[in-house]
Structures are given as C-alpha cells and as structure tokens.
Amino acid sequence: MSMSVGALIIGDELLSGKRQDKHMQALIRILATRGMKLAWAEYLGDDPVRIEAALRRAFAGGDLVFSFGGIGATPDDHTRACAARALGVPLALHPEAKALLEARFGPDAYPHRIQMGQFPQGAAIIPNPVNQIAGFSCGSVHFLPGFPSMAWPMAEWALDTHCRHLFSDEPDIEESCIAVNAREGDLIGLMQDFTCRYPALKLSSLPNFGNEAIPQMHIEFGFSGLPALVEIAIAEWVKALQGLGYEVRVKASVMK
C-alpha cells in the first residue's frame, strides 16, 4: 500500500532563527531505515489560524503526517486545540494520559500540567519514553513534542506500531550521472521524453557552473524509484547523452 509521508514542524523559534530545525533530517533517516521517504514538509509559526488550516489539510489529505511541536501546556502551545477544531471535536482528557501525568507529577499535575493530557476526542496516545508526557494520534496524523530526544523515538514507535504495512523491503534508490558541458535548455526535449517513458520514476536535473572536481559547466541528472526500473532508465539515459556527443560520468547509486 502506498501512502505519502509529510511533516508539520511548528514553532516561532524556528522561523525567527533562534533555533535550527533538526526534525526533518531526523524523520528522513527514521523513514529511510523502514524503506520509506518523506514527500513534503511545512514550517509553521505559533499561529492558531495557520496551524488549524494546515491540520485540516492533513486530516483531509489521507497522508501519513508527523506534527512536531506545540503540544505543551504554555500559552503559545496551540496544536492540541487546533487539531480538535480541525476535526470538529472537543478536547477531552485522555484517561491513560491523565494517569501518566498524575503518576509523574502527583498533586502538581493540577491545574496546568494536566492540560497536556487533553487531546481531540477519540485520539490514541503515543508513549513518551523520556518523561511519560504522551503525544497522540488522530488517524494517520501523529502529534509529537518539539524536543528531539522525545519526538524521534515517539515517531519510531508510531511507525513500528501503526505503519508496518507501509514498510518496504526494497527501498527506492537514486542513480545519477554527470553530463559535462551540457546545458539544460538543450536537453529539455530529452527530459520530457524520459519523463513520459518512465512515469513511475523521478527525473532530477541539477546544473553546475563548475567546481573543483569538474571545472567545466555540467549537469547532474538523477533517476529515483524502484531499483530495477532505475537501472534500465539510467542506462538508456547515459546512452542517449553519449549519442548526442556528451562526456558522461556515472555516479554510484544512493538509497532513498
């Protein structure tokens, strides 16, 4: 079964530059070990209107989505309430999350910390192995804290618990080659032909005006997708470029 994977990464501190995002690269690695890949990512500030709109799209789109940040108990944590509004359900104190919070904080769980156990009605919890303050899932959208040490093992748990049917034993690969002294404008027609010939693959084109390794102008072309199909496409592509008189250098394949 095929399902695209997306990420929502939330926090004013990321957009202001006070902190650098680490979640996207970590999620790419987490997915890759399971033969999966990230299809899209969106950064959002702590703006309830934008967060709610993004979550409405996520719930309606049917993708597997990981949302990082905004599920704490401070006034700038809007994600839980936005998720409930996007789903059209109330926030409700999850019994298991309540028990975890009371076990960790005792009487100090009230009146504020207990709010971190309020999820959209019908949500399922995601265990937090670091401090037991749970995240939650609403269908295929999984809500995680902004702290990397907590969020990343929680994302792995959600994948391993709910998404094993999406794992691939044969992950996509990318194979690429470099055409020396090539210009994109001269090869658009050929790229269009190969895009039509191999609709299941992605063709990329990365021009370069010269570097230490290859001082001449060149283009790095890549095909990504199922290994067997990529191998056929790259071989035909190299042959087509050589037939046009270009010097071609083939690079090693890379797991996607």
The structural architecture, per CATH, of the domain 5-166 is: 3-Layer(aba) Sandwich (3.40)
| Statement: residue 254 has pLDDT above 60 | no
Instruction: Say what the pLDDT of residue 255 is.
Output: 47
Q: Residue 31 is which amino acid? A: L
Mean pLDDT of the region 154-178: 92
pLDDT tens column, 28-87: 989 988 888 899 999 999 999 999 999 999 999 999 999 999 999 899 999 999 999 999
pTM equals: 0.77
- Cα separation of 223 and 239, whole Å? 14
CATH of 173-255, one of 3.30.210.10, 1.20.1640.10, 3.30.70.250, 3.20.20.70: 3.30.70.250
The CATH 3.40.980.10 portion of the chain extends over 5-166
The CATH 3.30.70.250 portion of the chain extends over 173-255
Q: Which two structure tokens, joined as six digits, stand for 76?
A: 């700038």
What's the Cα-to-Cα distance from 126 to each of 60, 77, 122, 129, rounded to whole Å?
21, 18, 13, 10
**Block residue for tokens 């190299």:** 238
**Block residue for tokens 């996520």:** 58
Confidence of residue 3 (pLDDT cuts 50, 70, 90): confident
